[in-house]
Amino acid sequence: MSLTGRSVRVRVPATTANLGPGFDTLGLALALYDELEVSVRDAPGATVEVHGVGEGEVPTDESNLVVRAMAYTFERVGQPVPGVNLVAHNAIPHGRGLGSSGTAIVSGIMAARGLLEGIATIDHSMLLAIATELEGHPDNVAPALFGGLTIAWTSADGPKHKKLNVHRGVSPLVLVPEFTLSTEVARSLQPQTVPHEDAVFNVSRSALLVAALTQSPELLFESTEDRLHQSYRGEAMPETRDLIAALREAGFPAVVSGAGPSILVLCNDPAQRAQATELAESVSTSSWRSLPLAVDFKGATVVSVPERN
């Protein structure tokens, strides 16, 4: 069956991973989106048009991460890779710990899924498997795919996830700096082993954090304490480290967003977000963009676009 003329629109949310103690396990989808339209053409290859974040910076040919993820998905289900035209409207900051690379991967997979509707079936488990193969960690892609709060793990049968609904009282705030940090650099600072008491500490806080996010937002401050990764990565982003310390000293449940350098503050009411923003502006010498964001509950979506006459 020819795909020529098929077109889909994809929308994928930003994500924040770890959430403090939930290292490589917990993730949250945020209401900030990259959107794209992909159209199949007769000629092979790809052309990419980017608007917003990444315009003039990211590749605009087959090496583009969205295109590569889409091609990988076609090959994974045994279908020939078509030529495509792609138009992207990006809002998620790059290199800031908000899942931009995972979002690009999920965007390509969802585009392939939409274009292959009626030809190949890609269910939820396969979506997560393909995304994890490309990204490396299920906690980074599960919330982008499925929305809400996700717990991700890897079993003998491959990556798995559990989606949970977030308490309506949780009000996320993301503070985004002008500087960037690569995930590879952040991970290189992690020790191979940690003290037993630190591991036990994080197990307790991770369990408490799930309860705080789903049932008891008043526990968010205590439940976001961490001893596994943030202190080790602090030397690579001292401005982030120092601002988190100031926020937590003032009682705000602030953590590194993903690998950083953005900061996630899991407030328990909207007014607290304004207070945290004011504090950040008053104590930091760096410039931070304040993004008060809702939790995204839908995850990635794809819809077919009617053929144009």
From the annotation, which residues make up the binding site? 93-103
From the annotation, which residues make up the binding site for ATP? 93-103
- Residue 85: other Cβ atoms inside 10 A: 16
